[in-house]
Amino acid sequence: MKKFYENVLGGRSGSIGIIILSILLFAILPLALDAFRLNLVGKYLTYAFVAVGLVLLWGNSGVLSLGQGIFFGLGGYCMAMFLKLEASSVENTKIQSTPGIPDFMDWNQLTHLPAMWVPFKHFPFALLAVVLVPALVALIVGAAMFKRRVGGVYFAVITQALALILSLGIDGNQGLTGGRNGITDLRTLLGWDIRTQTAQYVLYFTCCALLIGAILVSRLVLSTRMGRLLLAMKDKEDRVRFSGYDVASFKVFVFCLAAAMSGVGGALFVLQVGFISPSLVGIVPSIEMVIFAAMGGKHSLLGAVYGTLLVNTGKSLFSENFPQLWLFAMGGLFIAVVMLFPDGLAGIYESVRTRFFSKGTKEKATDKVPAVNAAASVALAETGGKS
Amino acid sequence: MQFPNAILAEYTFSEIKSIFVMQGFAGLSLFSVLLLMALGLAIIFGQMGVVNLAHGEFMALGAYMVYLCSQITADHFPAFQPYYFILAIGVAFVVAALLGAFVEWSMIRFLYKRPLDTLLATWGLSLIMQQAFRSIFGAREVTPTLPEWLMGSFKPTETIDIPINGVFVMGLSLLLTLGIYIFMFRSRTGLHMRATVQNRTMSGAVGINTGLVDRFTFAMGCGIAGVAGAAFTTIGSTGPDSGSRYIVDTFLVVVFGGAGSMLGTIVSSFGIAQAQSVSEFFLEGTMGKVATLMAIVVILMFRPQGLFPSKVRS
């Protein structure tokens, strides 16, 4: 129990952080916002799954993927395929020339369900696919690249290319995927109408609970010895490799974990928003998700959630009121985060906290921030290597 | 999907020959387009290792400069119309290079040790530039008035039709490649640039002002992107986001060729262009591009160092 408290909740300050976030998500936001705005927040929180994955991957392992939209999209498409099949029952699609298949297939002169779609008639399969398909793709890509020691900017450029390929591929196969419009008009989940207000509330709370779960899982991973190795790899990869660790396998694991989380986020997006399209897969959404994580502070799991909420709220406020200024603001944000505050919101919070609240316990406070300086993590690597 | 054999069977032999000539030419002009785009990036990314995601916007800047020159010529110096294009290419180079130097001075030079952060910062820059184009030139795509001599096409036989602007772009890209080669390998500044890339500390020790060389190199890469953009105006129109459409292709060309290798960039843009134009003939719509990109990524997974890896240790 004590171990759970120390490792997963992150001791006192970690638990307080989780509790504050939970109160915000479960009590303050649902009470303060109307159903429409809350649904928007729910949508943003699905991006936060990707951002949390990026904190693991980028902030704590030093691997920047510009293709996380791939996994978000794959998870989303797996869920959407199930929902679409349920929505296109024979009686719902009587007017089509081939009843019982999704409408866009009928428009594209398909006369039977493609083999790829058939297993998605089953809910357990779809649920598994939401997690496993992204993880599997990440496994293939990650194994191919990390085993050959491709990293840094090359990895970023290639994952970006993959995001482009997937979005173009979905776009180009209209009969199979719904093309540019994506999969729309999703109605029920196992007979339960997901468009009602009650359903939206239930889905919002499910999303929050799963997000907190994802953060706790990430905390657990980071608190193990593997977490320390990941941190060490980020700063001195060769040193970890020469200590006898298989660096690539650790990276592949984190990449798969981040992908699976993104997939869950994608599935929750589809449930709450009711559609998925290639525009959520491509280059732009993938790199925007990186800025969510960067805004919150790339080392901070909780920061990722706040960063996502803040950037998206800013985005919707700007695009409602000053649409021309939004790209300037977003571009400026990218530059500012990199040049002025590389540790994001979490960094600002930490510096404020150490300055004003914990004069006596300064050392303790820095100890709690993961990976503030390189020296600390090298020391960690050495303890990991010796034990 | 129609099968290519079925398509081919409908034509006579001489028509097939013309198709091959024209398709081959389409591949060649795509090659010169890719090469033009990739040359600037081969310097910035391949030599300096800076991931400039705003590279496409520097191309768009060059294209907009040509548009601006064309407007000014049409309004004030109509007699100058047939010749302005050559001058406009120079303007595109200078403006893009100056902006590049400013960006290097204000942003990039602080980030040389943090390549992943450069990537995010330049993405931010590209968003700002796109919106700036949209605010200044409007959201609609623009086309400069091209001089007469760039219009029309050669007709060596009845069925073969080769557009002059394609030939022009090809000539320009060959000229530029040659120019860069001579500059990089035969001039003193080029020597300084290569030395700084290979060993920064040692170059500094022998008296090269490496900071200045960096700024110059970056500015030159951006200027070349501007020339590429200027060349594009002869083929297609320019919109605020036309730069970002090519950025992934451009990076893949450089990575596939082997970063740091000029020859690699040339060979890979040739290979990618031919593969893409052939696969676009056989597959429908965007799938030709998807197939080509996928093939490149798969090859890169097996051979991450690219076609012509540089022999210098990092």
> Which residues of chain A make contact with B121, given a CB cutoff of 8 A?
334-335, 338-339
CA gap A161, A282 in Å, rounded: 9
The closest alpha carbon to B116, from A202, A94, A342, belongs to: A342
Is B124's CB within 8 Å of A161's CB? no
| Residues within 8 A of A (CB atoms), B 30-49 only | 49
Residue of chain A whose Cα is closest to the Cα of B139: A324
Count of CB pairs separated by less than 8 Å, A with B: 118
Per-residue pLDDT in tens (0 to 9) along chain A, 387 residues: 667 777 666 677 778 888 888 888 888 888 888 888 898 999 999 999 999 999 999 988 888 999 999 999 999 999 999 998 888 888 777 788 878 788 888 888 888 888 888 888 889 999 999 999 999 999 999 998 888 888 788 899 899 999 999 999 998 888 888 888 888 888 888 878 888 888 889 999 999 999 999 999 999 898 888 888 888 888 888 888 898 888 899 999 999 999 999 999 999 999 999 889 999 998 989 999 998 998 888 888 998 999 999 999 988 888 888 888 888 888 998 899 888 888 888 888 888 888 877 655 544 444 444 444 444 444 444 444 433
Residue B312 confidence (pLDDT)? 53
> Is residue B120 a contact partner of residue A294, using CB atoms and an 8 Å limit?
yes
The closest alpha carbon to B46, from B259, B262, B265, B266, belongs to: B259
Residue A381 confidence (pLDDT)? 46
Cβ–Cβ contact A139 with B under 8 A: no
The answer to whether ipTM exceeds 0.90 is: no
Is B252's CB within 8 Å of A157's CB? yes
Mean pLDDT of B10-22: 73
pTM higher than 0.95, yes or no? Answer: no
Cβ–Cβ contact B299 with A under 8 A: no
Non-local (6+) Cβ contacts of B266 within 8 A are B35, B177, B257
**Partners of residue B142 on adjacent β-strands:** B238
CA gap B271, B300 in Å, rounded: 14
Residue type (1 letter), A317: L
Residue type (1 letter), A89: S
> Is residue B100 a contact partner of residue B92, using CB atoms and an 8 Å limit?
no
Pick from A64, A147, A164 the residue to mutate for testing the B interface (most B CBs within 10 Å).
A164
Question: pLDDT tens, B53-67?
Answer: 999 999 999 999 999
Non-local (6+) Cβ contacts of B311 within 8 A are none
> Which residues of chain B make contact with A283, given a CB cutoff of 8 A?
248
Q: How many C-alpha atoms does B74 have within 13 Å on its Cβ side?
A: 10
Q: Are strands A192-193 and B153-154 parallel, antiparallel or unpaired?
A: unpaired
Residue type (1 letter), B284: E
Q: B310 vs chain A: nearest CA distance in angstroms?
A: 15
Full 3-state SS string of B50-108: CCCCCHHHHHHHHHHHHHHHHHHHHHHCHHHCCCHHHHHHHHHHHHHHHHHHHHHHHCH
Residue B4 confidence (pLDDT)? 53
Coil, strand or helix at A189: strand
> Which residues of chain B make contact with A161, given a CB cutoff of 8 A?
248, 251-252, 293, 296-297
CA gap A142, B73 in Å, rounded: 54
